[in-house]
Amino acid sequence: MKRLSTDILILGSGGAGLFAALHAKKAAPGLSVTVAVKGLLGKCGCTRMVQGGYNVALAPGDSAERHFMDTIEGGKWLNEQDLAWTLVTVAQQRIRELETELGCFFDRNPDGTVHQKAFAGQTFDRTVHKGDLTGIEIINRLAEQVCARDIARLEEHRAVALIRARDGDALAGVLMIDMQTGKFVFVQARAVLLATGGGPTMYKYHTPSGDKSCDGMAMALQAGLSLRDMEMVQFHPTGLLAGSDTRMTGTVLEEGLRGAGGYLLGGDGQRFMHKYDPRLERATRDIVSRSMIAEIRRGNTTPNGGLWIDMRHLGTAEVRRLFKGMVERCADCGFDLAGGLVEVIPTAHYMMGGVVFARDCTTALPGLFAAGEDTGGVHGGNRLGGNGVANSTVFGGIAGDSMAAWVPAHGKLREPDEAAIAASLAVCRRPIEQASGDIGALREELYELMWDDVGIFRDAAGLRRAEGALVALDERLDRTGIAGRSLAFNVTWHDWLNLKSLILVSRAITASSLAREESRGAHFRSDFPATASNDDLAFITVALRGGEIVCDRETVRFTRVKPGESLLGADAA
Ligand SMILES: Cc1cc2nc3c(=O)[nH]c(=O)nc-3n(C[C@H](O)[C@H](O)[C@H](O)COP(=O)(O)OP(=O)(O)OC[C@H]3O[C@@H](n4cnc5c(N)ncnc54)[C@H](O)[C@@H]3O)c2cc1C
């Protein structure tokens, strides 16, 4: 096995990973920084896929306090308030950094100020964007800057285990697979950033990029860390439904379609949202998604089992002008968005939960830092659209600064626990030693069971069923081998490893969902449809102990504002 060493190792090259690399290098140019990524740098992950934009309070009349209150109320008071405050205040610096230091161009008003558009759940139009391709602008500029600096890159390198030092007290490094050769690599590091971006790709319909399989959260659980708010999975109402033979199924048709006046129709061609919410198609994501599933369960569906989105009444030319990208995406799959009907279905989009971390991005394991969608606590029970990329860039930058300060004072190149390396190698090699089986069929089973029993509607019976089914699925996966013996670019092997991570994290979502006996934010329990009082509000943590997922509760600390109060003056509110 190849062994490398670096001062700072960053896992992932989304907004969090690339910002961390730039900040770490700037703060401590003498330290070696390495970015290791499962895909190609700048070409993978979800930051690149950001369509809508980036929330930040910039305009006169808006304020960090207002952005904060929207974030806390959107998060149904579950957020770690100090993290949310850091998000809204540092975003104001980060957006300037993106424009003035890194070279991003965002859309502007005729007077030269940055244009900010409306996004759901916000009391002010604060979403900065570059047309409907904001993520490409951000990630391309970040990638260029990283490539221009003395930052090492390990592309197509997949992290598989966080390895503690021999004495167990701190992290020694990360076990990885060089996907090009199929060989194992151990990277010893003084500090490691987990920025692999979560991603709820265990659901039948999902939006995130194919390289995301919750590896970071799974590695954190295996390393003994706690995750929080794992029951909070956000579903976007309008995923494209283009049949089971295309990966385009599940990808997002942007919220602006409903915002601009698009209708949702049942299979009978009639609007149905009036049965569920007076705001009709413009209700919040969670309500529209639940209403859609309720309508689907009534059997009022399209040929592929979804619903229709209808933009025809807005005029073909206008729809083409406003939603060029969406019209083209639908045309690729044989649908005419501007002049016809398109099949849609709610789709798993984002995980509010993740690794418990502090404002400086430290975690409970010395030497391990975390940022971006791998972390929990910033968004609480629901994420505002536009707060995701703000989260990854804000905390990615902070993580880079923190690691640069921490390494000279505390960071050592520690000798790894060789037994832990051997144990992780054995898990990864398991499918190589078994007779080959149908990994695809196991993945389909995971999709279906998470969709049916741990999806938009949940209840105790379904969650208990899922608990057992996930353990059984994991055991079957362990007995299923991969075809072929060459490990170079063996995608079936990586599918197997993806499933291993996804099943473990699915167990965490299921346990957390069972533990929260109320409906709050993105989590809806049919058997507990009411939202409990905010008195004694607790967040749920999950950890892996002796192979079992164990839940715990911690009281939410309202450090800046209490439920029923506001940071805004009466006039501003
Ligand atoms: C279609 C879509 C549209 C979105 N639109 C918006 C929007 O308009 N506004 C908004 O705020 N948010 C939006 N989001 C959410 C937003 O993309 C994320 O919140 C944010 O970009 C996550 O950044 P990140 O750096 O944490 O992760 P990512 O950008 O996803 O990066 C994760 C990185 O980790 C790598 N990785 C994964 N596993 C491993 C491993 N085992 N080893 C090594 N590397 C690994 C990946 O290859 C990738 O490079 C959208 C998401 C999607 C899917």
pLDDT one-digit tens code per residue, 109-122: 999 999 998 887 78
Other CB atoms within 10 A of residue 529 CB: 11
Separation in Å, CA 444 to CA 171, 201, 203, 204, 299: 35, 11, 9, 7, 23
Nearest residue by C-alpha to atom 18 in ligand 1: 388
What letter represents residue 485's amino acid?
Answer: R
Mean pLDDT of all residues belonging to the chain: 95
Nearest residue by C-alpha to atom 37 in ligand 1: 196
Residue 325 has pLDDT above 90, yes or no: no
Distance 304 CA to ligand 1 centre (A): 28
Range 63-79 average pLDDT: 96
Q: Which residue has the tokens 């943590």?
A: 541
Atom in ligand 1 nearest the alpha carbon of residue 158: 42
Distance 210 CA to ligand 1 centre (A): 11
Q: Which pLDDT score, from 0 to 100, does residue 573 have? A: 47
Q: What is the DSSP string of 519-543?
A: -BTTB-BTTB-SPPPSTT-EEEEEE
Nearest residue by C-alpha to atom 1 in ligand 1: 49
Range 303-326 average pLDDT: 93
Q: From 43, 44, 50, give the residue whose CB has the most ligand 1 atoms within 8 Å, as the site to mutate.
A: 50
Interval 2-15: pLDDT, tens: 999 999 999 999 99
Cβ neighbors of 167 (< 8 A, separation 6 or more) are: none
Distance 48 CA to ligand 1 centre (A): 7
Q: From 47, 134, 249, give the residue whose CB has the most ligand 1 atoms within 8 Å, as the site to mutate.
A: 47
Range 169-197 average pLDDT: 97
Cβ neighbors of 509 (< 8 A, separation 6 or more) are: 202, 230, 231, 233, 353, 450, 454
Q: Tokens representing 187?
A: 């990277």
Atom in ligand 1 nearest the alpha carbon of residue 501: 41
228 is catalytic: no
Residue 519 has pLDDT above 80, yes or no: yes
Atom in ligand 1 nearest the alpha carbon of residue 374: 26
Higher pLDDT residue, 246 or 383? 383
Indicate the pairing of strand 152-155 with strand 33-37.
Answer: parallel
Asked if residues 407 and 113 have their Cβ atoms less than 8 Å apart, the reply is no
Nearest residue by C-alpha to atom 48 in ligand 1: 45
Distance 235 CA to ligand 1 centre (A): 16
Q: From 253, 389, 497, 500, give the residue whose CB has the most ligand 1 atoms within 8 Å, as the site to mutate.
A: 389
Nearest residue by C-alpha to atom 53 in ligand 1: 208
Q: Which of 491, 417, 498 is nearest to 186 (CA)?
A: 417
Asked if residues 285 and 120 have their Cβ atoms less than 8 Å apart, the reply is yes
Q: Which of 115, 117, 118, 123 is nearest to 71 (CA)?
A: 123
Range 433-450 average pLDDT: 95
Nearest residue by C-alpha to atom 5 in ligand 1: 50
Nearest residue by C-alpha to atom 27 in ligand 1: 197
Distance 479 CA to ligand 1 centre (A): 31
Residue 353 has pLDDT above 60, yes or no: yes
Nearest residue by C-alpha to atom 15 in ligand 1: 388
Range 447-461 average pLDDT: 98
What letter represents residue 470's amino acid?
Answer: L
Q: Which of 67, 206, 236, 458 is catalytic?
A: 236
Separation in Å, CA 236 to CA 125, 291, 341: 20, 12, 19
3-state SS class at 193: strand
Q: Which pTM value belongs to this model? A: 0.97
Q: Which pLDDT score, from 0 to 100, does residue 326 have? A: 86
Other CB atoms within 10 A of residue 358 CB: 16
Q: Which of 258, 349, 414, 520 is catalytic?
A: 258
Ligand 1: residues whose CB is within 6 Å?
Answer: 11-17, 36-39, 44-47, 49-53, 158-159, 195-197, 207-208, 211-212, 215, 252, 350, 372-373, 385-389, 392
Atom in ligand 1 nearest the alpha carbon of residue 251: 1
Q: Tokens representing 512?
A: 């957390």
The percent of residues above 70 in pLDDT, for the chain, comes to 99
- Rounded CA-CA distance 116/125 in Å is 6
- Rounded CA-CA distance 72/56 in Å is 15
Nearest residue by C-alpha to atom 38 in ligand 1: 196
258 is catalytic: yes
Size of the chain in residues: 573
Distance 533 CA to ligand 1 centre (A): 33
Cβ neighbors of 221 (< 8 A, separation 6 or more) are: 227, 504, 505, 508, 542, 543, 544
What letter represents residue 400's amino acid?
Answer: G
Distance 46 CA to ligand 1 centre (A): 3
Q: Could you tell me the pLDDT band of residue 484, with boundaries at 50, 70 and 90? A: confident
Residue 572 has pLDDT above 80, yes or no: no
Range 326-336 average pLDDT: 91
Range 327-347 average pLDDT: 94
Distance 169 CA to ligand 1 centre (A): 30
3-state helix, strand and coil shares in percent for the chain, rounded to the nearest 5: 35, 20, 40
Asked if residues 367 and 361 have their Cβ atoms less than 8 Å apart, the reply is no
Q: From 35, 44, 46, give the residue whose CB has the most ligand 1 atoms within 8 Å, as the site to mutate.
A: 46
Asked if residues 500 and 158 have their Cβ atoms less than 8 Å apart, the reply is no
Query: 285 phi and psi, to 5 degrees?
Result: -50, -45
Distance 80 CA to ligand 1 centre (A): 21
